[in-house]
Amino acid sequence: MPSGKKSKQARRAAQVKAPPPVQSKGGLRRVQAGPLGTRVWIAGGALVGIVAIVAIAIAAFSGSAKPAQVDFAQLPGLQTGPPPWNNGSGDLQDKLSLVHLDPLPQEALAFHIHQHLDVYVNGKHVTVPALIGIYANSFVTEMHTHTPDGVLHVESPKNRPYVLGQIFGEWGVRLNASCLGRYCGDLHWWLDGKPQIGNPADLIVHAHQEIVIAAGKPPAHIPASYNFPAGE
């Protein structure tokens, strides 16, 4: 066999047997040519690089949850009379999927924030009732009220965006860019004392917001803050 041919075969064999080049980094080894051309870190036989990439991808995906949108036209039991409005709990079970909230056996505090809501119709204060989002002591949703003081509770096992329209949907009071309940055409709203435009139902709620919704004549004074109890 010609020496040139032997030389080629020897070179091919050497290429097959040669291990991929590695670089050390502490107790880790980096393989230059991993699956699909990736570079991975190996420690104790574990592909920690791949695990880290997957973990980052999962975290990015879970953090990209979109805010819910409530279609009030589909909600059962909308309150069409004048205030005061009841807490809407009578048909809460039928509204859960439409307001994108879950029935929880108890409050979950992994994500725990509060806001304060003031509602006015023609300059008169409307009570935000107790027990919105709580059904006959059987379950509680992630957004609810305990007392008739306007404090909204967001208590969830998941840190995801919640919007004002979800609790109005539970309450059974229509809310959009022009309507509060039966009152349409002259809607105003404020956040922390500052006038807002757009649809208040789409407001993503955050800790210690003061939210004011007014249909018709606005009140003489617009609250800009609320004195939350210690720990809330």
Mind listing the pLDDT tens digit for each residue in 149-161? 999 999 999 999 9
Q: What is d(CA 222, CA 72) in angstroms, rounded to the nearest whole number?
A: 27
Judge if 18 and 109 occupy the same domain.
Answer: no
What is the number of structural domains in the chain?
A: 2
Give the model's confidence band at 40: pLDDT under 50 very low, under 70 low, under 90 confident, else very high. Answer: very low
Q: 55 and 110: one domain?
A: no
Assess whether 53 and 79 both reside in one domain: no
Q: Is the pTM of this model over 0.75?
A: no
Same domain, 198 and 91: yes
147 plus 93 within the same structural domain: yes
138: confidence class by pLDDT, cuts 50, 70, 90: very high
Q: Is residue 12 within a helix (H) or strand (E), and if so which, with residue range?
A: helix 3-17
| Cα torsion through 66, 68, 74, 78, rounded to 10 | -170
The pLDDT value given to residue 33: 36
In a domain, 82, yes or no: yes
Q: Identify whether residues 39 and 102 lie together within a single domain.
A: no
Is 227 part of any domain? no
**Domain shared by 14 and 56, yes or no:** yes
Tell whether 37 is covered by a domain: yes
Residues 25 and 134 in one domain: no
Claim to verify: residue 37 and residue 56 sit in the same structural domain: yes
**Any domain includes 24:** yes
Tell me if 43 is assigned to some domain: yes
CA dist 222 and 225 (Å) reads: 9
Q: Do 95 and 137 belong together in one domain? A: yes
Let me know if residue 226 belongs to a domain: no
The reported pLDDT for the residue numbered 64 is 56
Average pLDDT, the chain: 81
Determine whether 200 is exposed, middle or buried from the number of CB atoms within 10 Å of its CB (0-12, 13-18, 19+).
buried
Residues 87 and 191 in one domain: yes
Confidence category of residue 57, pLDDT binned at 50, 70, 90: very low
Domain with 8 in it = 3-62
Tens digits of residue pLDDT in 193-214: 999 999 999 999 999 999 999 9
